Amino acid sequence: GAGVSQSPSNKVTEKGKDVELRCDPISGHTALYWYRQSLGQGLEFLIYFQGNSAPDKSGLPSDRFSAERTGGSVSTLTIQRTQQEDSAVYLCASEKTVSGETQYFGPGTRLLVL
């Protein structure tokens, strides 16, 4: 079946602009995660959605970052007023349940802030 998809695959933006990154999880997966992979910080958790529960936003680095998940499926990560330090690969993962199942990752969105 289809895996996790993300768009765009690459995004170049100017400092101060807003960007939206999209994630389509595997159909039927109830949990969705956003991670960020950057040279200085490695792989770090950003935010987590599970069903209709309130998302856990504890990993978001600043209030410029927000995410939503509509209809329990597609998720959008929004970065407002982008900064150069936001340059990274943003990875989305989905999971069938939250009882020790496997998180399956999308190909990522490579963001470059000039």
Partner 1 sequence: AQSVAQPEDQVNVAEGNPLTVKCTYSVSGNPYLFWYVQYPNRGLQFLLKYITGDNLVKGSYGFEAEFNKSQTSFHLKKPSALVSDSALYFCAVRPLTGFQKLVFGTGTRLLVSP
Could you list the residues that contact partner 1 (CB under 8 A)? Answer: 4, 6, 31, 33, 35, 42-43, 45, 48, 50, 56, 59, 91, 93, 95, 98, 100, 102-108, 110
Cα–Cα distances (Å) from 111 to 2, 29, 74, 83, in that order, read 24, 26, 19, 11
Is the bond into 8 cis (omega within 30 degrees of 0)? yes
Would you state the structure tokens that stand for residue 68, as one six-digit string? 């939503």
User: What is the nearest approach in angstroms of partner 1 to the Cβ of residue 42?
Assistant: 5
User: What is the nearest approach in angstroms of partner 1 to the Cβ of residue 97?
Assistant: 9
Nearer Cβ to partner 1 (12/98): 98
Q: How many CB atoms sit inside 10 A of residue 110's CB? A: 15
User: What is the nearest approach in angstroms of partner 1 to the Cβ of residue 1?
Assistant: 15
